[in-house]
Structure 1
Amino acid sequence: MIDQRYYQYIQTIAFYCSFSRAAEALYITQPALSRFVKNVEKDLGVTIFDRESEPLKLTPAGQQYLEYITKFIELEENMRKELKSRQDAISDVIRVAAIPTFSAYMSPYVIPYFIKQYQQQCDLKFYEYTNKYILNRLGARELDIAIMNRMPEIPDLTYTKIMNDPILLVVPYNNMMKDAYPGCVNNLDNPIKIDKFNIKNETLFILQPWQNMRLAADRICNYYELVPKRTIEVRSVVLALSFVSSGIGITFACPSQIRSIHPKGDFIYFIPSELANITDAIAAFYSTNNNPWIRPFCQCCINALTHI
């Protein structure tokens, strides 16, 4: 079987554009992660990451490697799906996965809360994957719950809202913003209505078309008729926020992402009041899944995250 680290480690480094941040997210040391990548590069005879770029990025060979290993893992998942029974038996195990930014922000609160409540009754298995991989595993019935920020249109899939996580427009708090909005620096808990801000002279950093935050950003721009001077596609919210930190553009992000990434600099935040809840955190699961621990886990999420 394929070692999941070949996918998870490389994908996590690519997501955070940093060995150090990826190591923190993976709960391993940076030297261990660097050795792992160097061993893979030595075995393949190619360089996976361009270490001279700022921020760190995949080389063309690295991008192709990630695409191949993703296909290999999907083939393995399909094999498992075909070989295992599709029946959902009553279980004392709950299998949960979250996208990386949610995992970094929520798991320190949710996991201890659930363990404290049910450690003698239920075994929690918690994973961190990309949105696409989570949906594949959920569809294969190898996960019970997916923590994400957009409900996919899949038959029999339902959800429970577990946390308010409104989408915000993130703007550098430069001299122009100081004059227009004095005293509003880093107003994450009290954002300004987005209809008070014109982005026609701004560069908007957006994610790729299939990513949830991009879908939400497109919907907001269409609804409010926001037309930036230019748009630039990037791979992750981490990379988008790094450009905003440099003062060269704006982007969309949620409070959970901002608090887990900790971008450098001063910002001002704008909120699309009518559409703010389209990125709220949800726990998605199949209505046909009869695992009795789904509802208790969702309730633990709500309880643990209510007062953050």
Structure 2
Amino acid sequence: MFRNKEYVLAVIREGGFSKAAEKLYISQPSLSATIRRIEEKLTVPIFDRTTTPITLTDAGREYVKRANEIERMERDLEQYISDRVNLFAGEIKIGASSLFSSFILPKMISSFNKKYPSVSIKIFENNTKNLMRELAVGEIDIVIDNAVIKNEALSSVLYASELLLLAVPESLAVAPELGDFALSACEVKAGKHLEAKYAVELKSFIGCPFVLLNSENDTGKRADLLFKKHLLTPNVLFRLDQQMTAYNISSTGVGVSFVSDTLVKNIDSSAAMRYYRLKDAESARNIYLYQKSNRYHSIACQRFVEHITKLSQSTE
């Protein structure tokens, strides 16, 4: 009954019979007939054809769940055999936000490929929620993210730590006494912001307009937590999805944004911006490499995680 499971899965993934048939390079009548035969073996329908768009029955949902599990096990077995035949060859699919895929992944990939040139790497950019969903179903192998994900189905390895800073345009008026605590991008790149003596209170900037990220984003979530912690109500001009976008808007002089030192270390230092470290412990966070637990990880994936964590430790 699972012999032609890919037909059922294609209908779900493509959202209908016509697109699934096109994806499978078969006619729609042929696809429908194949699924009918599967339903006859099950003795119950998989799809409720009275709804628009078509939906799964209870039995159909269970079938799809099992079919996905079998498909994953097949992929794991294929990868296991491939590893034994072609040692250190293969493909790694890595998911990350646009920030990490722009600033962190290129260095990782360059270093790894020098040691393992026969391994190809594909990058998938998305938000945390979508990346974790794709990781859970096996569409990607590794996710690099700074969000803390508590899920027994996922395992994590610490890659690095980072600090959230306030990015403040030089044209924006702030309290004169903050002058001694302001840091340039060059000073952040030199690690000067790691010295606790430069830490300031968030309330010192409450008179400024803010450019924040949405609460689904870890940076936005932490910013909201800090305002709530200090009983502050910020003047929010924008709520955005990407940290880089928030920074770019801030750099035009519009308002203050929360940015990671990871971003500051990788951008042009010429922007008329100043950076401030916050006293709050919540401004510190980790970057993790996430993988799905209880599944086979290719030798290529294992070597990638080992290589990157060693590389991170050597640069600390």
SS at the partner of 2:163? coil
SS at the partner of 1:86? helix
SS at the partner of 2:183? coil
The answer on whether the counterparts of 2:212 and 2:236 sit within 8 Å (CA) in structure 1 is no
Q: Aligned-pair RMSD on alpha carbons?
A: 3.0
Distance (Å, rounded) in 2 between the aligned partners of 1:219 and 1:183: 23
How many equivalent residue pairs? 228
SS at the partner of 2:272? coil
**CA deviation profile, 1:87-117 (whole Å, cap 9, x unmatched):** 1332453322221111111123211221222
Tell me, yes or no, if structure 1 residue 298 matches structure 2 residue 298. no
Tell me, yes or no, if structure 1 residue 109 matches structure 2 residue 107. yes
Structure 1, 182-191 or 235-244: larger mean CA deviation: 182-191
Give the aligned partner of residue 142 of structure 2: 145
The answer on whether the counterparts of 1:206 and 1:232 sit within 8 Å (CA) in structure 2 is yes
Label 1:155 to 1:230 Cα distance change in 2 as closer, same or farther (>3 A). same
Give the aligned partner of residue 93 of structure 2: 95
- Could you tell me which runs of 5 or more consecutive residues in structure 1 were left unpaired when the two chains were aligned: 2-77
Distance (Å, rounded) in 1 between the aligned partners of 2:178 and 2:214: 31
Label 1:178 to 1:138 Cα distance change in 2 as closer, same or farther (>3 A). same
Match of 2:289 among 283, 292, 298: 283
Give the aligned partner of residue 35 of structure 1: none
Offset of residue 305 of structure 1:
3.9
Give the aligned partner of residue 86 of structure 1: 72
Tell me, yes or no, if structure 1 residue 265 matches structure 2 residue 261. no
SS at the partner of 1:167? strand
- Normalising by the residue count of structure 1, what TM-score does the alignment of the two structures yield? 0.63
- Normalising by the residue count of structure 2, what TM-score does the alignment of the two structures yield? 0.62
Larger Rg: 2
Instruction: Return the letter of the residue paired with 1:302.
Output: T
Label 1:269 to 1:106 Cα distance change in 2 as closer, same or farther (>3 A). same
Match of 2:223 among 217, 227, 230: 217
- Could you tell me which runs of 5 or more consecutive residues in structure 2 were left unpaired when the two chains were aligned: 1-9, 11-63, 84-88
**CA deviation profile, 1:58-93 (whole Å, cap 9, x unmatched):** xxxxxxxxxxxxxxxxxxxx99x8497121332453
The answer on whether the counterparts of 2:181 and 2:200 sit within 8 Å (CA) in structure 1 is no
Tell me, yes or no, if structure 1 residue 168 matches structure 2 residue 162. no
Distance (Å, rounded) in 1 between the aligned partners of 2:93 and 2:236: 42
The answer on whether the counterparts of 1:171 and 1:250 sit within 8 Å (CA) in structure 2 is yes
Distance (Å, rounded) in 2 between the aligned partners of 1:183 and 1:212: 25
